[in-house]
Amino acid sequence: MDNFSQLWPLLYRALLETALMVSISIFFAVLIGLPLGILLYITQHPLLFKIKPLNATLGWLVNIIRSFPFIILIVAIMPFATWLVNASHGPVFASVALSIAAVPLFARLVESSFNSVKDGVIEASIAGGAPIYLIVTDVLLPEAKKSITQAITLTIISIIAFSATAGVVGGGGVGDLAIRYGYYRYDTLTMIVTVIVLVIIVQIVQWAGDFISNRAEER
């Protein structure tokens, strides 16, 4: 590609694809990863809901998914993803794998966010006769709000990074554009522009995340 006007339609489309993949994946990462992270935390906490076998099973499952290289994960779950979204390529299809990769990542981040909540506060809540669900909603989540916001930021950025690989299944996106045009076709202009765009996206996400998490703390 010689000039930007040729690149622009491709880039625009890639941006939309990235936005779609990130939105779907972060939605499911939070929807499933948050309860999973809560479960991981409370099943190991002696004052809350300690069930060693359940905690070990969940931890094991999370570790297995997290140890898959992303590209292998995509291929491995292809039949499942095809069945689930009734398609075999495209950003929605790629989002299945992205979500599956993001859920355990986010769950672990949530779990470690709760580790920063002081045990004393949990102890005081137990001593006050609070049920576990109330401790989760009124103690753990508000106390860990800042660090959970940071976990969401980090997960979004990881999804953006993963999504470059999503090109394998025709997922598209900015990262895929960089690889297909910039790398395979030695198209320097595309390469430079896409990398700059990715840097800008990541910066914006990080900045927005920091802004929100600081506000969460100041309240």
Partner 1 sequence: MSIQLNNVSKTYHLKGRNVEALKPTSLKVETGEIFGLIGYSGAGKSTLVRLINLLEKPSTGTVTVGDDNLTELSSKDLRIRRQKIGMIFQQFNLIESKTVYENIEFVLKASKYNKKDVPARIEELLNLVGLNDKSSINAANLSGGQKQRVGIARALANNPDILLCDEATSALDPDTTKSILNLLKSINRTLGITIVIITHEMEVIKEIADRVGVMSAGEIIEIGDTYNVFSHPKEEITKDFVQEIYNFEVPSQIKETPENQVITIQFLSENAEENYLNQLYRDFELSISILNGRIEYIKEKPLGFLMFQVSGKVEEIERLKTHIDNSHGIERVGYIG
Interface residues with partner 1 (CB under 8 A) are 47, 118, 120-121, 123-131, 134, 138-139, 142-143, 145, 217, 219
How big is the chain, counted in residues? 219
Question: CA 32 to CA 30: how far, in whole Å?
Answer: 6
Question: CA 14 to CA 176: how far, in whole Å?
Answer: 8
Amino acid at 132: I
Among 133, 155, 167, 136, smallest CA distance to 205 is for: 155
- Work out how close the CB of 114 gets to partner 1 at its nearest, in angstroms, rounded to a whole number: 13
CB 191 within 8 A of CB 181: yes
Q: How many CA within 13 A on the CB side of residue 133?
A: 0
